[in-house]
Every structure is written in C-alpha cells, then in structure tokens.
C-alpha cells in the first residue's frame, strides 16, 4: 500500500529527507525520483514502513512516544483503502 512519502513522514514525526534516506538504503520499500522526497511521485510502502518502525522500536532505537504516534498514523492511513 503506497502513500506519498512527504505526507506520511510529517504525520509520524520524521523529516521526509530522513525517510528518503531509508528508501535509498533499502531499509524501507519506496521510490524517490530525482532524490527529491518532496516530489509528488515520491512514495513509501506503508507495510514496509510499519515493519521497519516496529523492528527499530524493538531494538530500542525509537522511544515509546514516537512509536505510538507513528503506529497511530500508519494504522489510520492503512485503514483508508
């Protein structure tokens, strides 16, 4: 399930450039044409992003508040089919 990278990044509290870096490094599935995370056609896969955030939280890389906010917004976005 794809969503505009710049939209979901701001909602979960992550800068689009930071999320684009995750896409470049292959941590999260998506596409960032011309390396521009603000581009309308830059996208990220919600399932991949959710799995990444859960994995990093389990490793202690994200605090509880960030995790809760991210999960709330991801679940809300995933509910809109």
Q: How many domains does the chain have?
A: 1
Count of positions (residues) in the chain: 81
Question: What residues make up the domain containing 71?
Answer: 1-77
Per the structure block, which two tokens stand in for 1?
């399930």
**The pLDDT value given to residue 80:** 59
Per the structure block, which two tokens stand in for 62?
């994200």
**The pLDDT value given to residue 45:** 97
Q: Over the stretch 31-43, which tens digit does the pLDDT of each residue have?
A: 999 989 989 999 9
How far is the C-alpha of 52 from the C-alpha of 22, rounded, in Å?
9
Q: Over the stretch 9-57, which tens digit does the pLDDT of each residue have?
A: 999 999 999 999 999 999 999 999 998 998 999 999 999 999 999 999 9
| Strand pairing class (30-31; 43-45) | antiparallel
pLDDT band, very low/low/confident/very high, at 79 (cuts 50, 70, 90): confident
Would you list the DSSP string of 37-64? TTSTT-EEEHHHHHHHHHHHHHTTSS-H
């Amino acid at each position: 399930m794809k969503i505009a990278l710049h939209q979901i990044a701001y909602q979960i509290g992550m800068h689009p450039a930071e999320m684009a870096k995750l896409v470049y490094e292959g941590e999260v599935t998506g596409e960032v044409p011309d390396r521009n995370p603000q581009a309308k056609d830059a996208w990220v896969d919600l399932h991949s992003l959710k799995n990444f955030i859960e994995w990093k939280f389990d490793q202690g890389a994200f605090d509880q508040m960030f995790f809760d906010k991210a999960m709330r917004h991801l679940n809300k976005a995933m509910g809109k089919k």
